[in-house]
Amino acid sequence: MAPPLSSLYTLSFALAVLTTLFVAASLRLLTILPNQRSKSTPWRKRPVATRVLVVLGSGGHTHEMFYLLRDLDTRKYTHRTYVVSSGDAFSAQRAVEFERGLEEREKQWRAEEERNDETANGKVKIEVTNEDGVTKSTQEETMRGERPACLGPDHYNIAIVPRARKIHQPLLTTPLSCLWTLYCSFTPLLRAPPFLPDQQPTTPYEAAAADLPDLIITNGPATAVIIILASLILRFLNWRGANSRSKCKTVYVESFARVKTLSLSGRLLLRIVDRFLVQWVELEGAGGRAEFWGVLV
Amino acid sequence: MAESWNWTRDSKLCFVTTGATAPFTALIESVLSPSSIQTLRKCGFTHLLVQYGSAKDVYDICSSAARLHIQDNKQDGEIIIDGMDFNSEGLQSQFKLVQKSKGLVISHAGSGSVLEALRYQIPLIVVPNIGLLDNHQEELAVAMERNQYLLRGDVQDLASAIRKSEGFRIKMSQFPPVTSGEHRETKSFAAIMDETMGFMD
């Protein structure tokens, strides 16, 4: 006869279970932390759609972030999610302006391209009229063969998470508010809301937007630490293939104002993020992994 | 640009920004001191615009003292002094005017202003606010000066930095750097993003 279940309610059994869980969790963490995961995905053909999540912070961080993103290619990073803290209207405003700027830039490029086509392609036109119409269309296609720019409100969203610590909030309740922020961080990580409510993704762009982000970019506000932690939890659990599909790659850029010492967020995230970038040569190799490629902002 | 400025082709502007929220009053005092004003006039500056933020009282006292000083020493040339508090649209138009008039910007060492001003390729003097605790302004200013992006000034002796700025225009490094670091391959952030994602081309 099997022993009664109550015979398992002993201290030694509880310890054994806890130890097993602890070892299993540590092994799992070791496999997902960046030492095991290669710094970058192996070279591949770029997918049609990619979602990037950008964590914005208070004034200075947001300012630097948009300098970092100034050459963002919307053909590659087809959906952008900007995460801002509640009450940070400035950052949200800057995100909208940045997107508008991307649209303006694209319009200018188009206009320039058309002007160039008109002036330089007189010869091409003659060639085309000599041949049949099919050749003409294929030729045009090869010229415009590249993917379309992904701009406008259905290609980005602004997600708001509660502030990790309000100004003058007592230290005692901070862990609680951080947990609340952590809980709320899963929403923007898991998906960007569809442009129209209850819309099922029909295009690859919409599918990417409804999926986990491929890349998370941050430069050090407190919210960033929590968002990165949330992404780590998703990868720990391999939630919707967060780890097996190499989603949620993380890039941290230390502030340009940090010359000799890392910020608190930087020190916390040093061993967790996939890539840790610093902008001054003095910090190169900090913690054995900080990369320096010059001033980036 | 105010009507009373008498702006001409030969005008040369020195623009001073002291931070909008917590103004750096020592910088306002320093730039309006007789030695700075005299140096500016010798270097051919015709206009001095001070963004005083919320420290209008300090600016008013110092600027009237400076105007008296100018009247007493007319032989050194005219310089028009004007002030502004805070521009919600940013400082682009001021920086552009400096760029056009081949002038100079003197700024507090906040990274935001520094990053913005440098994009106009104009000589920039930054003055770290030593009074701020736990602040990395001094470190940043030293590092930026070492890389020839800007000049570092001191509220005690702004005049020497102003004199240096005249020759600095030809020496200053391009910002953001096209190539930087010692013989290393540099990357733009866009390239680092692509590399992390493994995107070819």
**How large is the ipTM?**
0.85
pLDDT of residue A40: 64
pLDDT of residue A128: 47
Q: Which residue has the tokens 């919320």?
A: B54
The C-alpha atoms of residue A45 and residue B154 are separated, in whole angstroms, by 53
A105 lies in which domain range? 48-114+150-292
Question: Tell me, what CATH number does A186's domain have?
Answer: 3.40.50.2000
The C-alpha atoms of residue A236 and residue B52 are separated, in whole angstroms, by 52
Is residue A132 predicted with pLDDT exceeding 90? no
The vertex-B99 CA angle with B96 and B103, nearest 5°, equals: 125
DSSP state, residue B80: E
Query: Which of A97, A259, A279, A283 is the best mutation test for B, with the most CBs of B within 10 A?
Result: A259
| CB within 8 Å of chain A, chain B residues 84-123 | 111-112, 115
- Does a structural domain hold residue A278? yes
- Total domain count, chain A: 1
| pLDDT tens per residue across span A34-51 | 765 566 677 888 889 999
Residue A129 pLDDT class (50, 70, 90 cuts): very low
- Does a structural domain hold residue A195? yes
- Does a structural domain hold residue A142? no
The C-alpha atoms of residue A160 and residue A162 are separated, in whole angstroms, by 7
- The residue among B127, B120, B94 whose CA lies nearest residue B25 is B127
Query: To the nearest whole percent, how much of chain A has pLDDT over 70?
Result: 88
Residue A120 pLDDT class (50, 70, 90 cuts): low
| pLDDT tens per residue across span A167-206 | 788 888 889 999 999 999 999 999 998 878 888 888 999 9
* More confident of the two residues A46 and A156: A156
Which segment of A120-134, A278-292, B66-80, B164-178 scores lowest on mean pLDDT? Answer: A120-134
Q: Which residue segments constitute the domains of chain B, with CATH numbers given?
A: 9-174 (3.40.50.2000)
Given an 8 Å threshold on Cβ–Cβ distance, is A259 in contact with B180? no
- Does a structural domain hold residue A179? yes
Is the minimum CB–CB distance between B8 and chain A shorter than 8 Å? no
- Does a structural domain hold residue A69? yes
* Sequential DSSP letters for A174-241: HHHHHHHHHHHHHHHHH-PPPSSTTPPP-SHHHHHHTS--SEEEE---HHHHHHHHHHHHHHHTTGGG
A290 residue type, one letter: A
* More confident of the two residues B144 and A125: B144
Is residue A142 predicted with pLDDT exceeding 80? no
pLDDT of residue A294: 86
- Does a structural domain hold residue A13? no
- Does a structural domain hold residue A1? no
* More confident of the two residues A66 and A171: A66
pLDDT of residue A134: 47
The answer to whether A199 touches A206, Cβ cutoff 8 Å, is yes
The one-digit pLDDT tens for each residue of chain B (201 residues) are 565 677 888 889 999 998 766 778 899 999 999 999 999 999 999 999 999 888 889 999 999 999 998 888 877 778 999 998 877 777 888 999 999 999 999 999 888 888 999 999 999 999 988 776 666 788 899 999 998 999 999 989 999 999 999 889 888 888 887 754 454 567 889 999 999 999 876
The answer to whether A144 touches A117, Cβ cutoff 8 Å, is no
> How close A149 gets to chain B, by Cα (Å)?
16
DSSP state, residue B130: T
Contacts of B126 in chain A (CB under 8 A): none
State the DSSP H helix or E strand holding residue A275, giving kind and residue range, or none if neither.
Answer: strand A275-278
- Does a structural domain hold residue A10? no
Is residue A144 predicted with pLDDT exceeding 70? no
Contacts of A245 in chain B (CB under 8 A): none
Identify any residues that bridge with B51 across adjacent strands, giving them in sequence order.
B17, B84
| Structural tokens at position A223 | 């919210």
Q: Which of A41, A257, A282 sits opposite B198 (nearest CB)?
A: A41
pLDDT of residue B4: 67
The predicted model gives A248-256 an average pLDDT of: 95
pLDDT of residue B138: 87
The C-alpha atoms of residue B138 and residue A12 are separated, in whole angstroms, by 58
State the DSSP H helix or E strand holding residue A123, giving kind and residue range, or none if neither.
Answer: helix A122-130
> How close A73 gets to chain B, by Cα (Å)?
8
